[in-house]
Amino acid sequence: MLTEPSTDYRCPGESHPISGAVHLARLASFYPKCRGCAHRDDTGTLSPQFVKLLAQTRRGGRDLSLFTAEGVEGVYLNTLTAPVTRKLAAVFALGLPRQGAERNQATADVVVAGDGRPLTSELVAAACEGIRWTGRRVIDLGAATAPCVAWAVHHLGAAGGVLVGNAGDEPQMIGLKFWHDGGRPLSAGAELARMREHYEAGVDRPSRTYGGLGRFQPGDGYLAGWKDHFHGLRPLRFVLDTRCQPLVGYLRRLSAESACEVLQELKPDGQATARRGLAERVRAADAHFGLWIDGDGEACRLVDQQGLEVRHDEWLCLIAERLLASRPGAALVLEHGASARLAERINAVGGRVAFSDPARAAMDDAMRCHGALAGGGPSGRLWFGGEAPAADILKALALLLTVLSQSDRTLSEVVRAS
């Protein structure tokens, strides 16, 4: 079914409307509220494979409350408990190869991290226990973002990685995301389906040897290549709206010696405020822009100094122009559903365009296949290439600050000039 531009999309239980692009992105990410939405069959430009998968998951019974398009998600102590997490982690570890495909070396290590919330600490411990039960050694990262976990898996040559966190805004929800060696994310498809089957069938312990436990602090290594972006910045003020505590810590470390000011409003319980008030807070603080970032540090929403939303294709175009200046002719990967105008603009500034389904595993494959500099689309994720491609909003923010510091123009003026 084709999406009508005039359709007023509104998620069940939400008071504010969303655009057609956001509607498609939420469908593609198996957003829980889409299951009861009147527009759930309006699949627009989503691929036939995704439409078929959507139909299958709606008939999947209890899997809908646990397995999602990007891993596992459930309500803490309701659908996602410590025993469930322990079993899921064990099933994941048992499915990992014993040989590292990227570095051709034997490895049994699995990286584990949490999002820093007290709520997740019990499940992080359960995940570690489940992995060690299989005989594999766990490397505990402490609190980390999703792109930091992907970096650590690649950097350490680990067999895989697990993040216990919460990408959404509902504090009672906890999710598990998984990576294979090389920092390759798992999404809906053969790998997660196989993991689901093994979880339901039960697992047998392959070894009587309990795996070891090590610790690694990824912060310095992960942030090492970013410090230069925070030198010579103009005194920019921006409102940050996020529940991602590790990302806030990274940003404060990077911006400590710069002239930038990060404004973050907190609730009494220490959690960041909901994103629907972002525009008002930007105007009240006379900030240069505002940024909402999801709980895992992978997706975002940007507003300018007037509180007006900056479309993802506009932000991606700014990033493309910056990166292509040093690598003309390089590829950028766009999610299905991205505007044709965005592809034309990237071609106009010297880039090559490739397309991919928005799933994290599909985008990762496309980024590697094309050697792409960056990528993104309606999902709100902004991808960056390299040995371990990742959707990393911290890097996108660093590039945005660099672009804005090249002149005294406002964000809206920079967007209009691009």
Give residue-wise pLDDT tens across range 328-343. Answer: 999 999 999 898 989 9
127 closest CA partner among 108, 146, 140, 143: 140
Helices 340-348 and 312-324: crossing angle in degrees, nearest 10, is 20
Q: Which overall architecture, per CATH, does domain 67-220 show?
A: 3-Layer(aba) Sandwich (3.40)
- Rg for the chain (alpha carbons), in Å? 21
The yes-or-no verdict on residue 4 having pLDDT over 70 is no
What does the pLDDT read at residue 24?
76
Residues 353, 343: contact at Cβ < 8 Å? Answer: yes
Query: Bigger pLDDT: 54 or 360?
Result: 360
The yes-or-no verdict on residue 273 having pLDDT over 60 is no
Q: What number is the average pLDDT over the span 288-310?
A: 96
Query: Bigger pLDDT: 375 or 43?
Result: 375
Q: Do domains 67-220 and 232-417 have the same CATH topology?
A: yes
Confidence of residue 98 (pLDDT cuts 50, 70, 90): low
The yes-or-no verdict on residue 206 having pLDDT over 90 is no
Assign residue 143 a region: left if phi > 0, alpha if psi is -120 to 50, beta otherwise? beta
What does the pLDDT read at residue 62?
38
The yes-or-no verdict on residue 64 having pLDDT over 50 is no
% of the chain residues with pLDDT over 70: 86
Kindly report, residue by residue over 109-134, the tens digit of the pLDDT: 999 999 999 989 999 999 999 999 99
Q: What number is the average pLDDT over the span 172-185?
A: 95
Q: What number is the average pLDDT over the span 26-41?
A: 70
Residue type present at position 312: H
Confidence of residue 239 (pLDDT cuts 50, 70, 90): very high
Q: How is residue 153 written in tokens?
A: 């898996």
12 closest CA partner among 30, 36, 45: 36
Residues 334, 373: contact at Cβ < 8 Å? Answer: no
What does the pLDDT read at residue 156?
95
Confidence of residue 265 (pLDDT cuts 50, 70, 90): low
What does the pLDDT read at residue 235?
94
Q: What number is the average pLDDT over the span 373-397?
A: 95
> For the stretch 272-284, what's the b/e string if a residue is b when 16 or more beta carbons lie within 10 angstroms of its beta carbon?
bbebeebbebbee
The yes-or-no verdict on residue 396 having pLDDT over 90 is yes
The mean predicted confidence, pLDDT, of the chain is 86
- The pTM is what? 0.81
Q: What number is the average pLDDT over the span 191-208?
A: 84
- Which residue is listed with tokens 């220490």? 270
The yes-or-no verdict on residue 60 having pLDDT over 60 is no
Q: How is residue 380 written in tokens?
A: 């709100």
Q: How is residue 122 written in tokens?
A: 């019990």
Q: Is 133 exposed, middle or buried (0-12, 13-18, 19+ CB in 10 A)?
A: buried
In angstroms, the Cα distances linking 29 to 53, 68, 148, 188 are 11, 8, 21, 10
Q: What number is the average pLDDT over the span 393-408?
A: 94
What does the pLDDT read at residue 79?
87
Domain 232-417 - what CATH class?
alpha beta
Query: Bigger pLDDT: 349 or 139?
Result: 139
Q: What number is the average pLDDT over the span 257-284?
A: 72
Please give the full DSSP string across 4-44, using - where no structure is assigned. PTT--B--TT-SS-B-HHHHHHHHHTT-GGGGG-TTTT--T
Task: Please enumerate in sequence order all residues whose Cβ is within 8 A of that of 284, keeping only pairs 6 or more positions apart, or say none.
Answer: none
Sequence spans of domains, the chain: 1-59, 67-220, 232-417
The yes-or-no verdict on residue 284 having pLDDT over 50 is yes
% of the chain residues with pLDDT over 90: 62
Identify any residues that bridge with 105 across adjacent strands, giving them in sequence order.
Answer: 100
Question: How many separate helices (H) and strands (E) can be counted in the chain?
Answer: 14, 20
65 closest CA partner among 52, 55, 78: 78
What does the pLDDT read at residue 204?
78
Q: What number is the average pLDDT over the span 48-77?
A: 71
The yes-or-no verdict on residue 1 having pLDDT over 90 is no
